[in-house]
Structures are given as C-alpha cells and as structure tokens.
Amino acid sequence: MNEEQRSIFDKIIEDYENLMSEGIDYWARFSNLDTWQFWVNVVFLILPLIVIWFSIDKKRALLLGFYGFNVHVWFTYIDSLGVNFGTWGYPFKAIPLFPVSFALDVSLIPVVYMLVYQWTLNHRKIIICI
C-alpha cells in the first residue's frame, strides 16, 4: 500500500471510529433504558422469539428455522444497504452498536415470515407475491 492510499484508508478508519462514538453518544442521550422507545425495541426483539418458541411446528423446525435464517440474512443485507446509503435510519435502537435495527432484522421480520410460511405449509396454500 503506498503512502497516499494508506493516509486515505487511515482517515476512513478514523471517520468510522468517530461515527461509532457519536452514535453511542446519541443512543445514550435519546434512546437509552429510560425511554419507552427503547423498551418497544426490546419487546420487538424478545416477544417474537417467545411466540415462535411456543408456536413452531416441531416436526418442521429445521425447515422453518433455515427459512427464518435466510429471511434474516437477506433482510439484514438490504437493511444495511439502506442505512449505509442514507435511504432510511433508526433513531431509536435496542443495541447502539449496529447501524441497523437489530430487533427487526433478527427477530420480528424473520419470525413473521416463519409463521406465515408455517401457515401456508399447514393449510396447503400458495401465496404469490407479484
């Protein structure tokens, strides 16, 4: 790596560090444990996992779990792109270390998709999205 490339790369790393620090400061001021928005995010994170634990078809748990993991990965990639390009953002988060909404990406959206998929399997329905 030449000197110019190294200095530009070091500047980018420094900017990332400053951005992370500012994001954590913002969370501490506006989205911490004392706010109701924080607790809504916690509910969005925990409640769907409790629901899926009790309602998942145990015989199809591997199939449904893999489907949910697939939805989680795709949704996280799309969400990361949207946040990184400034298309959308999350002013209130449960975990300030991630730029995306952790509760939506790993719990709420995948569980909703898993429950809909389980319903379609159990009722032999085909949902066509156009």
| Confidence grade of residue 1 (pLDDT, cut at 50, 70, 90) | confident
Summarised one tens digit per residue, pLDDT across range 4-43 is: 999 999 999 999 999 999 999 999 999 999 999 999 999 9
User: Which residues have CB under 8 Å from 22's CB, separation 6+?
Assistant: none
Structure-model confidence comparison of residues 6 and 99, the more confident one: 6
Q: What is the mean pLDDT of residues 90-111?
A: 93
Summarised one tens digit per residue, pLDDT across range 39-87 is: 999 999 999 999 999 999 999 999 999 999 999 999 999 999 999 999 9
pLDDT of residue 127: 64
| Confidence grade of residue 130 (pLDDT, cut at 50, 70, 90) | low
Q: Residue 56: what residue type?
A: I
Residue 121 to residue 12: CA distance in whole angstroms: 48
pLDDT at 129 over 80: no
Chain-centre distance for alpha carbon 8: 30
For the CA atoms of 96, 102, 108, 109, the dihedral, rounded to the nearest 10 degrees, stands at 140
Residue 23 to residue 4: CA distance in whole angstroms: 29
pLDDT of residue 20: 93
Helix locations, the chain, DSSP H: 3-30, 36-55, 61-84, 102-103, 109-122
Residue (of 125, 109, 44, 116) closest to 76 by Cα position: 109
Angle 109-122/61-84 helices, nearest 10 degrees?
A: 140
The three-state secondary structure class of 32 is coil
| Confidence grade of residue 99 (pLDDT, cut at 50, 70, 90) | confident
Residue (of 22, 17, 12, 18) closest to 96 by Cα position: 22
Q: What is the mean pLDDT of residues 100-123?
A: 94
